[in-house]
Structure 1
Amino acid sequence: MTTSERTVFDAAAAEDILRRACALADVEPDGIRMMRFGDHAVFRIAGGQIVSRVGRSPERLPSVQREVAVAGWLADAGYPAARLVTAAEQPVVVEGHPVTFWEGLGDGETYANTREMGELLRRLHELESPTFSLPPLRPFDKVTQRLKRAAIPDPSRAYLQALAEKLAAEYDRLEFALPAGPVHGDFNVGNVLRDVGGHPKVIDLDGFGTGPREWDLTQTAMYYDSFGWHTEAEYSDFVQGYGFDVREWSGYAVLRSARELLMVAWLSQNAGTNPRAAEEVEKRVETLRSGGSRRDWAPF
């Protein structure tokens, strides 16, 4: 099947691509189990010893190539992050979809505490920039790309795109408190896992770019104040670990709104194949319209 023939990227299509990539990379496709499905389909292989990420579309290739370069940079710097495995050149490309193979980290479900997260993020922001160039952070480009693929009602799509344009204009007027530099792009508790030795490591490296460090701080803050997913004590530990409270900066509300929009756009990609996701997207859109509480947003 060619790239043009595959019109649906669902769990079955992703696993088919993974199995073909395993053959090319000389990896045994034993015990394949899907972990999550978003911009990538993420699988555990060989009892969790290997984690594979299958890009949703050929458009993901540049960011995955950057992810591979970032992984090498962080390894050379001795920074605790996910490491690539297999001797094959990565990413492996099947039907245009980029596929990567990574060391499995523990059970894949044991997360760092928030103080460790803050300390790791501070260390990341203190690293010297890599010798290769990182693209400027352009979060609203992702919204547009995701909405193009989303099978959602036209009024919802139009509302989300208009909101993105409004927030992009506000974002461009912000005056940031911290110096710009390399950022993870998607730093949150779900992306800081413990390895088999119990040591926290940062994963999901494909969103790296150059931009305001406040962007990396916002998710943990909003998980506390908007969603209640962190306690006050946990958020305080994060602030102490990093050394700066982004909630006290004047532009925080704009970044929080941008992050919420990205969460909705991310989920909208699955609306065409997952009725529960489609229902959740519409609920979230209504919440954004009305300014209602985000505390009943279901996790995906």
Structure 2
Amino acid sequence: MVPDAPFERPSSAASDAARLRPASEGRERAAMAAVLEVADHVGLDAEAAGIWRAGSSVLVGLPVARVLGRVDDPRRVDAACRQVIASEVMAERGVPAITLTGPADQPVLTEAGPVTLWRWLDAHGVEASPEGLGRLARRLHDATRGGVEGVAPYDPLTAVAAELERAAELGLTDERDLGLLDGHIARLRATWPAPEDDPLGVAVVHGDLHRDNAIVTDEGLVLADLELAGVGPAAADLVPHVVAVRRYDASPRVLEELMQGYGRELHVWPGLEVMVEAYELWVTAWSVANRGGSAVLAAEAEVRLDHWRPGRDSSRPWSLR
């Protein structure tokens, strides 16, 4: 299989270990302890373990064992289960995606949250191309056309609500802004499209398909971060690129290249616009819930909130996370 990005040396245990950092606060320390406990239980080498990334979930790297432990919010057992089921379905249908390792039964429920352990891929330090993402989306949709029994419906608004709960606990966002976003959840639920109305059909969708959620390997692109995966309108996997053009100041060419890879035209229909708004709400809620991470994240949260505040729509482009 031809990679979908220029060749660059893949990562190694040493180079990946250098990207890790110590746990810096209570949530990260609890996640680290949970992953180490699960790893010890199944005999995985946890030497040089560290935090890979922290956001909606906390990723803990075990570079020697070549494992990434993911700890989701304790309230998001559903998100962890979605990832497990989606990964298994994709493996059965021949769609390249991250795969579990370690315990037979996952997620493992801990006080820190549901833990899942994933094989750490040897990734190239390059981004997936829009055309490559289009081909990967089409491959997923063709392999799961009509949906798959046991896979839950695509439901990004539940994920938005969970992020707003996290933001409320953080206490850095005005309650009026959180209430405003919560109101949009209700509005979008009331107008949510029937999946069968999508001209592209119904399939298992990734739900957050952008360049950071597909890993470039020697064998090609591999889907990662499956927390929004579910059965829904196939166009849901094209929405992130629509939003990239509308909000992130991306060139319209990226959407054209995505559709070239997908092999179909993007049909504009009422349901597409609802899903675009839902995705905009999702990335806004993510930004608000993670605003405490840095001054840059705090400023970005305000830019995105301005889009939803009456009379305050900002013309400033959003920044890709």
Secondary structure of 1:246's counterpart equals coil
Give structure 1 stretches of 5+ with no counterpart.
1-7
* Residue 193 of structure 1: how far off its partner (Å): 0.7
> Contact 2:61–2:67 at 8 Å: present in 1 too?
yes
Counterpart residue number, 2:21: none
* Residue 77 of structure 1: how far off its partner (Å): 2.1
Given the alignment of the two structures, is residue 190 of structure 1 paired with residue 207 of structure 2, yes or no?
no
Counterpart residue number, 1:98: 114
Stretch moving more, 267-276 or 119-128: 267-276
Stretch moving more, 119-128 or 36-45: 36-45
* Residue 32 of structure 1: how far off its partner (Å): 2.5
2:304 pairs, out of 278, 281, 284, with 284
Q: Within 5 A, what are the aligned runs for 1:1-300? A: 10-46=27-63, 49-57=66-74, 59-86=75-102, 88-95=104-111, 97-107=113-123, 109-128=125-144, 132-150=149-167, 151=171, 152-172=173-193, 175-195=197-217, 197-229=218-250, 231-246=251-266, 248-271=268-291, 276-289=296-309, 290-293=312-315, 295=317, 297-300=318-321
- If the length of structure 2 is used for normalisation, what is the TM-score? 0.79
Relative to structure 1, the CA distance from residue 141 to residue 88 in structure 2 (aligned partners, 3 Å threshold; closer, same or farther) is closer
**Residues 110-133 of structure 1 deviation map (CA, whole Å, 9 limit, x = unaligned):** 332111111110111111467641
Q: CA RMSD in A?
A: 2.7
The one-letter amino acid of 1:39's match is: S
* Residue 212 of structure 1: how far off its partner (Å): 1.0
> Contact 1:21–1:94 at 8 Å: present in 2 too?
no
Secondary structure of 1:233's counterpart equals helix
Relative to structure 1, the CA distance from residue 299 to residue 131 in structure 2 (aligned partners, 3 Å threshold; closer, same or farther) is closer
* Residue 279 of structure 1: how far off its partner (Å): 4.0
Relative to structure 1, the CA distance from residue 205 to residue 63 in structure 2 (aligned partners, 3 Å threshold; closer, same or farther) is same
**Residues 162-184 of structure 1 deviation map (CA, whole Å, 9 limit, x = unaligned):** 22223333334895322223211
> Contact 1:179–1:212 at 8 Å: present in 2 too?
yes
**Residues 249-295 of structure 1 deviation map (CA, whole Å, 9 limit, x = unaligned):** 44433322221111111222234565653443233212332332351
Between the aligned partners of 1:81 and 1:166, the Cα distance in structure 2 is: 33
Identity rate of aligned residues, in percent?
A: 26
Between the aligned partners of 1:131 and 1:226, the Cα distance in structure 2 is: 33
Relative to structure 1, the CA distance from residue 119 to residue 70 in structure 2 (aligned partners, 3 Å threshold; closer, same or farther) is same
Between the aligned partners of 1:168 and 1:294, the Cα distance in structure 2 is: 28
Secondary structure of 1:185's counterpart equals coil
> Contact 1:109–1:193 at 8 Å: present in 2 too?
no
> Contact 1:264–1:285 at 8 Å: present in 2 too?
yes
> Contact 2:241–2:254 at 8 Å: present in 1 too?
no
* Residue 109 of structure 1: how far off its partner (Å): 4.6
* Residue 53 of structure 1: how far off its partner (Å): 1.0
Relative to structure 1, the CA distance from residue 97 to residue 191 in structure 2 (aligned partners, 3 Å threshold; closer, same or farther) is same
Secondary structure of 1:93's counterpart equals strand
Between the aligned partners of 1:167 and 1:123, the Cα distance in structure 2 is: 29
* Residue 87 of structure 1: how far off its partner (Å): 5.2
Secondary structure of 1:85's counterpart equals coil
Between the aligned partners of 2:134 and 2:142, the Cα distance in structure 1 is: 12
Stretch moving more, 124-133 or 166-175: 166-175
Q: How many residues align?
A: 289
> Contact 1:170–1:254 at 8 Å: present in 2 too?
yes
Relative to structure 1, the CA distance from residue 18 to residue 181 in structure 2 (aligned partners, 3 Å threshold; closer, same or farther) is same
Relative to structure 1, the CA distance from residue 246 to residue 33 in structure 2 (aligned partners, 3 Å threshold; closer, same or farther) is farther
Counterpart residue number, 2:17: none
> Contact 2:51–2:60 at 8 Å: present in 1 too?
yes
Relative to structure 1, the CA distance from residue 249 to residue 113 in structure 2 (aligned partners, 3 Å threshold; closer, same or farther) is same
